[in-house]
Every structure is written in C-alpha cells, then in structure tokens.
C-alpha cells in the first residue's frame, strides 16, 4: 500500500475501504522492522497495543462509519511519541540511562487526548537525553541517523520523531521544543515542525527540561495536519497551570511579513540563505508585503537561553535522585552533567545577579523586540537553522558550536511566541532545508494559514527519502 502523508488522505482511504487501520499498522510495523535498524529512530515499538487498537477502530468503522470520524477526528492517524511523553505502562526513558527501566503509571495529557481522538501509538521515539541537544547524538540509546543521508544528523532534540516520520514509520510525531527541538529536526528531515505559544498545549506528563521555555510540538508532513492536531490538543487542563485560552489569529488575504535583518548575517550558510529567500520571494509574488525589520537583541539570544535553560535544567533534574525515579545520578550522561553544573553555577550565591538575573532581564529585551515588530507586521519569516543538516560527529567535541545551532529558534521560546518550520527545498547534496514563520502569541491560526498558502504551491513535503 502507498503510505498516506496526510490525515485527509488516510481518512479518505479508510472511508472508501481501500485499506483498514490494521493494514496501516501492519505496513508500518513491517517498515520499522526492515529499516529502523539503520536509522535508530525508535526506542520502544508497540506492536501488540497498536494492532489491538487498530482492530478496535476497524470494528468501530464497520459499526458506525461515517459518524465515527466526528467522534474521533484523528482516526486513522498513527503517532510516534517522543520518549519524553509519559505513556502508561509503556517504557518512557527521556533518552537517558537514568530512566532506562521507567514505566509510568499514567499518560501525559497529550498522549491521552490523542488516544481518545482515534490516534494509534506505534512507538516511542529516540531523542537526545533529556532533550539536551541539536543532533540526536546525545541519546543514550544510540545515535539517530537522517533518512535523507545516514552520514548526517536528523537534528534534535526530537531526533527520532523527525527521522521516524520522515521515514514513514508513523503519520506524525510529538516532540518538545524548548529552544528549537521540533523546528530544527523538522527542517533537517523535510517535515513541518510546529511549536505553539507557551501555554497553549498541556505539558502534564511530559518530562520537563526548562519549565519557562518548554512547549509541546508536532512533526507532520503538512501544515494542515499540524492545525488539525493542534485544534484537538489545545485547551484547558487542570493539571497544567500555565495553560492560557486565547486566540489572537487574524486570517487575512494579504499578510505583512517581516524579514529580520539580524537573521541574515555572517554565519548563515549560502544555500540556506537562498532557499529561505526563495520562500520569501514566493510570498511577495503572491501579493504579500515583505518588509525589513530589526530584532536588535538577537545576538544575545543564545547566551540568554543557555543561562535560563541550564538553571531550570539543574532544578528539574534534581528530582531524579535514584529513589523515586529509576537509576542513580551517576547514570547521567556528559551533556546533562554539563548543563546541571552550569545551571548550578549561574544560580549560586555571588553569580546569581551577574548571570541568571541578567539573563532574565535580557529576556525582557528580546521579548520587547518581538512585541515591537508585531506592531508593524503580521508574522516574521526567517531561516530555521544557520546550516543544512551537518555530519554525524561534526559538532560533538564542541558544545558551544552545537548550542549555536539554535540561534534562529531559541528567541521564539524566550518570547513564548508560536513558530512553524516548513520544508522549502534541498541543498546540492539533496539535504532538506526549511524556513520558519513566527507570529505573535496565540496567533497559531495565522501561521497555519500562511504556511498552507506556501505548501499549496510548493510541494517539497511530498518528497520522501529513499530508504
């Protein structure tokens, strides 16, 4: 069977009985068995529970079709959950040896909602341990490889989510985006990577990295699918007090799109620059207005991000004391240790004001830059990553160069704004490159609309890697 790349395609085929839920799941499980030895995108595959659910949904389809598609709007969808999402009774490792034998007693709100809406969980995706990384190389369950070229990284930290969906092991994947961990791997694997406004989707049951920056994100083939899934996921959850119900979206015929001059400076790869410029030109040709804007504090974003993030990491990882959860603290890997120590340092007496408090103030400046920009424009268009996918091993010995991979994405997390990465072309080595749209807080539907305009006429997302 030809594997579907969108929700509408899978549901059309289920409705006209071209295939069943069981057919889909069996095909995916066969693919995973055959190809994932090479890519290592999945830590735990769930064949029994996936097949059981598929049987159950096929019976429901027979009994109550087409009503069932109203009750379960995501029926037919298959998902890989980043291994940071707690799933009841299914091993949840966070990519770390500390949690190698951890089986949660409850499911995250996101996993629960998706199950109720008809989604079948195929497996748990590999990731950089504790979501610390931009390449997938920090996983303690082995490196994930990019399905477009196995010499290259798939990006991270939602590495397995991106590689798995790109290799068609599931229709979509969940991820977490704290500094770019959904958008950058999506860009590296030719997928749509969506990061909502801070507080739009519940994080209950998702292993925390940096609580003032963490968001739940999605990796899909199309912008339309991200929008459909987001619609089901957003909303109140009394278990997550950061949730805000708001929609500031304004869908227009013509958008005013800001191009931040600080994002197109030295350090940006030439091929990435020309692909992103081509995407901007497309909008201009369609009658949208491009205007240069300034986000003057951009150059301080990574410093600010690494201070705040590591401070919150040191606090969040303190709960893994070897008593309540999993293994002892000596099991922490190198990157987690580095971040815990850096975080402890910036919070310690005598350094708190100089580092942590200072970063919290610069965060205000970065946020204000965006607020000012959104007074003039509807959205901002930029690169996702300064480079195309890089080679495995290229940045592992130099953490700072790895941290700089987040230079165009971390600002959105500091300001709490939504952003989406969309496939926009390929380099001369046939490696995917995406561009990013960022909007004001709670303007997700504006971004989806603009992203959809691009995908309707630029079909890069329909190209799959040859495995």
Question: Catalytic amino acids?
Answer: 82, 157, 181
Report the run of H or E that residue 272 belongs to, with start and end. helix 270-285
Residue located via tokens 């064949």? 47
Would you count residue 464 as binding other proteins (CB under 8 A)? no
- Single residue of 361, 372, 376, 456 touching other proteins by CB under 8 A: 361
Q: How far is the CB of 241 from other proteins (least distance, A)?
A: 8
Would you count residue 374 as binding other proteins (CB under 8 A)? no
Q: From CA 399, how far away is CA 96, in angstroms rounded?
A: 18
- Options 88-96, 100-108, 193-201, 224-232: segment touching other proteins (CB under 8 A): 193-201
First to last CA, the chain: 16
Total residues contacting other proteins by CB under 8 A comes to: 48
Q: How far is the CB of 286 from other proteins (least distance, A)?
A: 32
CA 112, 92, 126 angle in degrees (round to 5)?
105
Strand, helix or coil at 408? coil
Q: How far is the CB of 176 from other proteins (least distance, A)?
A: 17
| Binding residues for other proteins restricted to 233-272, rule: CB under 8 A | 241-242, 244
| Binding residues for other proteins restricted to 381-440, rule: CB under 8 A | 399-400, 403, 414-416
| Binding residues for other proteins restricted to 155-184, rule: CB under 8 A | none
Would you count residue 130 as binding other proteins (CB under 8 A)? no
- Single residue of 32, 98, 114, 340 touching other proteins by CB under 8 A: 340
**Shorter beta-carbon distance to other proteins: residue 166 or 197:** 197
Q: From CA 389, how far away is CA 150, in angstroms rounded?
A: 11
Q: How far is the CB of 122 from other proteins (least distance, A)?
A: 33
Would you count residue 47 as binding other proteins (CB under 8 A)? no
Would you count residue 307 as binding other proteins (CB under 8 A)? yes
Q: From CA 22, how far away is CA 25, in angstroms rounded?
A: 5
Would you count residue 342 as binding other proteins (CB under 8 A)? yes
Whether the Cβ atoms of residue 452 and residue 224 lie closer than 8 Å to each other: yes
Residue 311 buriedness (CB in 10 A; 0-12 / 13-18 / 19+) = buried
Report the run of H or E that residue 79 belongs to, with start and end. strand 78-82
Would you count residue 304 as binding other proteins (CB under 8 A)? yes
Pairing of strands 78-82, 120-125: parallel
Beta-ladder partners of 426: 432
Q: Which residues touch 272 (CB under 8 Å, ≥6 apart)?
A: 383, 385, 386, 387, 388, 427, 433
Structure tokens at 122: 């195929």
Would you count residue 332 as binding other proteins (CB under 8 A)? yes
Summarize as ranges the residues that interact with other proteins (CB under 8 A): 197-199, 212, 241-242, 244, 297, 299-300, 302-304, 306-307, 314, 318, 321, 329-330, 332, 334, 337-338, 340-342, 344-345, 348, 355, 357-365, 367, 399-400, 403, 414-416, 441
């Amino acid at each position: 069977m030809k594997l579907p790349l969108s929700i509408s395609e899978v549901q059309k085929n289920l409705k006209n009985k071209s295939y069943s839920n069981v057919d889909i799941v069996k095909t995916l499980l066969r693919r995973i068995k055959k190809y994932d030895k090479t890519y290592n995108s999945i830590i735990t595959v769930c064949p029994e529970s996936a097949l059981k659910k598929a049987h159950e949904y096929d019976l429901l389809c027979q009994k109550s079709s087409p009503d069932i598609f109203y009750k379960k709007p995501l029926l037919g969808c298959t998902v890989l959950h980043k291994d940071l999402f707690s799933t009841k009774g299914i091993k949840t490792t966070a990519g770390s040896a500390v949690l190698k034998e951890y089986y949660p007693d409850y499911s995250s709100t996101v996993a629960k909602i998706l199950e109720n809406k008809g989604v079948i969980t195929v497996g748990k995706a590999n990731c950089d341990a504790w979501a610390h990384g931009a390449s997938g190389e920090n996983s303690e369950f082995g490196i994930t490889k990019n399905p477009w070229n196995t010499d290259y990284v798939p990006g991270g930290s939602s590495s397995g989510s991106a590689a798995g969906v790109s290799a068609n092991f599931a229709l979509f994947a969940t991820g977490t985006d704290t500094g770019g961990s959904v958008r950058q791997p999506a860009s590296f694997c030719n997928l749509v990577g969506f990061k909502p406004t801070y507080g739009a989707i519940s994080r209950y049951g998702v292993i925390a990295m940096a609580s003032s920056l963490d968001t739940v994100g999605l990796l899909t083939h199309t912008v339309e699918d991200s929008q459909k899934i987001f619609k089901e996921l957003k909303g109140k959850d009394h278990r997550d007090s950061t949730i805000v119900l708001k929609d500031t979206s304004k869908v227009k015929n013509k958008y005013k799109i800001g191009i931040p001059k600080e994002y197109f400076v030295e350090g940006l790869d030439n091929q990435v620059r020309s692909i992103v410029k081509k995407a901007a030109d497309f909008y201009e040709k369609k009658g949208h207005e491009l205007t240069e804007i300034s986000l003057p504090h951009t150059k301080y974003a990574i410093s600010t991000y690494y201070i705040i993030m590591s401070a919150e990491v040191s606090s969040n990882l303190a709960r893994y004391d070897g008593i309540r959860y999993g293994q002892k603290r000596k099991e922490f890997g190198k990157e987690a240790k580095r971040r815990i120590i850096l975080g402890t340092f910036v919070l310690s007496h005598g350094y708190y004001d100089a580092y942590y408090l200072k970063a919290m103030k610069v965060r205000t400046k970065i946020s204000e830059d965006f607020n000012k920009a959104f007074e003039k424009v509807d959205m901002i268009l930029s690169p996702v990553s300064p480079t195309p996918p890089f080679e495995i091993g290229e940045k592992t010995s130099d953490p700072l160069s790895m941290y700089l991979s987040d230079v165009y994405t971390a600002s959105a997390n500091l300001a709490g704004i939504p952003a989406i990465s969309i496939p926009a072309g390929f380099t001369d080595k046939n490696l995917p490159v995406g561009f990013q749209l960022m909007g004001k807080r709670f303007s997700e539907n504006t971004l989806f609309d603009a992203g959809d305009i691009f995908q309707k006429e630029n079909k890069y997302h329909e190209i799959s890697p040859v495995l």
